[in-house]
Each structure stands twice: as C-alpha cells, then as structure tokens.
Structure 1
Amino acid sequence: MAKFVVTPSNEDQRAAWIGGKIPEVERVRPGLWSIPVPIPVNPLRYVLVYALEVADGVAIVDAGWNTDEAYEALVAGLGVAGYAITDVKAVLVTHIHPDHYGLAGRVREMSGAWIGLHEADASLLRERYDDSAIESLVSRERALLDRCGVPPQTLDELAGASMMIRHMVSMAKPDRLIEDGERLDLSGWDLRAVWTPGHSPGHLCFVSPSRKLLFSGDHVLAKITPMVAVHPQSPPNPLADYLDALATVRELDVEEVLPAHEYRFLELRERVDYVIEHHGDRLAEIERVIAGSAGVTCWELATRLTWSRPWETIPPFMRRAANNETLAHLVWLESRGRVHRVLGDQEIWHSM
C-alpha cells in the first residue's frame, strides 16, 4: 500500500506529536480552542479537548481521563482561553473510552454542564464502569478469549487486563442522548452529530457545515487507525459498521479535521481512502495466512500477523486488543463468504 501523509493544519502541533511532547494550548480560530489533556502511561500521551465558545461560556468536545493531572491541565487550558471550569455548559462525548469520557462527571460536578452521549454507548456504561456489574463483563470477555484459543495460563490476565484503568473514569450518566443527524443547540455554532460506530458502538463525530470542520474523535486520525474489535459489548460486525461510517464521513464537505489525538489535518477524503485500503490489506493478509494452514484459531492467527512491533514484545492488554481486532476482520470476511469457522470449544477458521 502506497504511503499517504496528511497535511498538518499546524506544524508545531505535528512536531510535538512526532517529538514525544504535549503540544501547546492553541486558539485554532476565532471561538475555538484546542486543549491537550495528558493521558498517563499511554503511547497516545494526550487527548485533544476542543473548547467551543458559546454565548454564556464554552462547550467542550470530550474531557480526558479522570486524574488530577488531566483535570488540572483542562482547567489550565480553559484559563489560557479566558474561561474557568465553571464556564463549561456542555460536554459532548464522542465515545465512552476513559480518555474521552472519564472526566465528564467531574466537569459536570464543578460546572453544572450537561453531558451528551449517543444511546448505543450510554447503554454500555453500567456494565463497563459500575462495580456491581463489572464481573459479568470480565466473565464474558474470558469466554470469548477462550473460544479464540487464548492459552489457559493467560486467560485470566487478558480477560481482566482493562481493570487497571477503570479508576480513570468518573461514572456519570448522560443528561442527553445525542441522535445521528441531530443539530446541537449551541449558540454561534451549527454543529451536527454524525453517528460513526466501529471504534465504539456509539461513537459520534461532530460537523460544522458553515465552518467546514469535522471533530472526528477517534474515528479518523492523522497517522494511526483506531482499534475496531469484537468484544462482549460490540455489535456483531463492528468492522462493517466502521467501514460504512468511514464512507459516510468521506462525503462531508469539510476543509479541516480536528481529531482527538495526534494533530489536526486537512485531507479528510484522502485519509479515509487510505484507512479503507489499510483494512483491505489486513483482510488480504488474514486470508493468505488462513489459506496456508489446515485451520487456525483467532489467537494463532493474531500471532502470525504483521504488527507494529514483534508479538513477543506486545504487553497483555495490547495482545487482547490484537486478538479482538483480528476477530473483527475474521467476522467481516465470514459475512462476505470468504472464510468460515468450525464451532467447538475453540473456533477454528478455514478458507472457503
């Protein structure tokens, strides 16, 4: 696949990302600010929170992790823009992963802001973040990994691998459910919600037609591709959902993409085409590996694929992600009649 490099909107922001630093708080344009909020012990390093000036304060897109460091960075960033945390009127959450949703509850406590989220993600909150329900989710994850062929000695470690980050979220039910196509009531903004499932079932992007801006969350990023995985809370075929959602945003008339990580960039359509091609290459690689075997489990397949680093160096949490992302590609191929699985205690995948 030919490499495609997007044009950054701000070269300093890109340089900070490449250099392993956190970029500066930035006035993107009149009425709009970019505030980097640090993510602890994570290669992404920060989430870009966007502050949109409204008549009586600001609305923010995403919030960051629920840590004191993140909260203080958000407060300081708002201060650079001339606002206090009490001036936040709305928190538009692109999706419920901790680096986007984690601080939303704390912001609401301090400001009285309303929290908006898509219903498909809101319905997952209790099982994911409520202490009384989490064991059921871990048990279902363990059963999925077992069917995928994960070795017994690592099943428990992988099934509970995300437990370490649950404290980064302040459990907060949304005040509003944001629907696909909904026009958000924010003074001075013509912001419209675009439902883009895949990375999470209820992922939202927000588009401003008049300013030709797309707040893309994790749906479209400048360099990396978001994880799209089968897991206990995912729909049956999340990769199909993701590819369809990419096709949807590709048709938007925008001049600049404002993602939640890395840096802002210009070429939405070209980047979408590249990401679609990337998944096509991955699907082809999976088909080649399966064709060269007499049948393979999802876990065995994942260990044979090309990753950004050697399999032996990938930590447990990311190995689980790699397995579940591989499963999403297998399910997509199965839905197209290109592979099939034989059911049993462990599922074995074969070429057609």
Structure 2
Amino acid sequence: MTSTKTFVTLGMFIIDEFSYTNFEGETTKASKSEIGGGGTYAAIGARIWLFPDQVGMVVDKGYDFPSKIESKLKTYGEEMWFFRPQNEAPTTRALNLYTGDHRGFEYLTPRIRITPRDLSNTKLDRPKMLHFICSPARAFAILSEAKEQEEWSPITIYEPIPDRCVPEELPALNRVLPLIDILSPNAEEALSLLSIPIVQPVLKSSVEEAANRFLQLGAKDVVIIRSGELGAYVLTRRAGGKWFDPFWTKADTSKIRDVTGAGNSFLGGLSAGLHLANGDVYEAVFYATVSASFVIEQSGLPAFTTGANGSVQWNNDSPLRRLEALKSRRKD
C-alpha cells in the first residue's frame, strides 16, 4: 500500500496528567487529563497547514481510551488518525510534575513504541516525511527499518528525546547524524549534548556554536535549534545560518499561556512548510513558527473551526494571516 501522506510522526499519543506542588512538596493543584504526546502536537502542527488526509499518526487505543478524547481528535479530521486497538493494555499515560518553574515527567504506564514497520500496509505507509522523537540509538534503528523498505526515501526530521540529551549520548548521535535530513533539538538539549555551558538566559552565540558543532560532527545538511523566546536558529551546509524570531514576543506575554508541545508543533509545521515551499527550509520555518504560535495560546491543543463559507480558523484566527504578518515583520 502506498501512502498519500505528506507527514507522519512516529511519536506516541499520551494522555497527560498534571500535578502542581509548592517548594514544600505540598500539592497545590491537580488538573484533569488532557491530550498529549510529542507526536500528537507534531501532527497538529502539520494539520494547521495540510488537509487531514495528508497527515498521519498511530494512536494506540487502550482498553480505557476515553470516548471524549477520541471525539476531540476526530474534530481535526478522522483521516489523520490510525487507531490501533490495544485491548489488553491501558492507553499510555504520563504525569507532568511542576514544582515552581521546574518540570518533571514520568510515565504512568508502559510505553508502546511505534516503528516504520508499524506503518506497513496501513494508510500511513511510506509517507514523504517522517518525524520521530527518541534516543539516538533508537533513531538509528528507525532509519535502518525505513531503509529496508523499497522505493521509500522520506525526508527525516529527528527530535532528540530530552532525557537522552546528555554528553554520554553524543557517540550514538554521531553515528546517526549523517543519515538525518533535519536535526532539531532545543537550545538546552543541544548545549547539554555538546557539553557547552548553559547560562540563563541562553546566548545566541552559544546556540550558533552548537549548530556549527553538529555540522562538524557530520550532520547531513540542516540543523535547527529551537530556542524559545530567542526564536529558532537554522543552519545549512549550503546557505549558512539565520535566526528567525518567534511569532509572539516578550511584548505579547498575555498570549503565551503554556509552551507544552510548542517545539513538537514547530516541527510539524516545518514539515508542512517544506511541502508547501518546495523544500525551502528557510521559508518552511515561517510555517513552523506560526504553528507553534497557536499551540502556546492555551493549555492543550488549539481550537479548530470551519466557517459557514468554508474558511478554516485556529483559535479564531487564520494561519495565512499570521504567515503574512510574520513575513512582513521580517522585511521591516
């Protein structure tokens, strides 16, 4: 079966639970379960620009899968999701622990990993772009599996998993760097991998040094370091490095509610942008930036609506309007 998908993520679907404590260890607030998972946010980031039949993700549906969550996912387009029944296992859940500004994360159930073989003979088989979030060693295994499939050479977008962004993982990363089309850690992850001192606020010069180091270590072509309020730094072998500002800046703090999933949605938007901009990665970053802008405006996923005239809006705004505004700002 040949996929019609432009973008598929191997990231997991997770039901997120949240706990907030003070510095004395007392629980101050616990919130309801929400749709989560880096793959989910990446898929939504791509969906902001693409039709649902162009975006794909496996959703492992445990015996306890909430019907309300399934209905919510389907509002973004049923064609996006490949629901895979797990009748004897629970849906993957994780706990996000917040103590002050510190965030912890732990899985509450066993993880069900997704590999390229899981896409075979499904509607997600052999997409044009493949996104994954994992350790360097697992990234190598994913790429090896993908290579086994004939007549499939996807653009690969690799997001290192945060807890493996430590110096000890650098040899494994070096092994996989030449095989990845786009490498994209966030700033602190990049600096940690390379043993570059992390100061707050993060310095642009440190981010640029990290990106150059990844190219020196053998990165195939494109390194994008997502850097929060600094924006994103994009470095390619052919055209050099450029900084891109975020859509919402320090002056727009009222718009920034929760940055969970922003980086994942950025990479989904980047993938959509690569498709729409004929492979121009610098142009694609504008699409990525807009996708992230919608995700950080609330806790959870952005709202999707279709007007009476067929117009599509996210959080009651147009992605195309934001795209034009962002580009015009760049020209100023």
For the criterion TM > 0.5, the same-fold answer is no
Question: Relative to total residues, which structure has the larger strand share, 1 or 2?
Answer: 2
Return the index of the structure with the highest Cα Rg: 1
- TM-score w.r.t. the length of structure 1 is 0.28
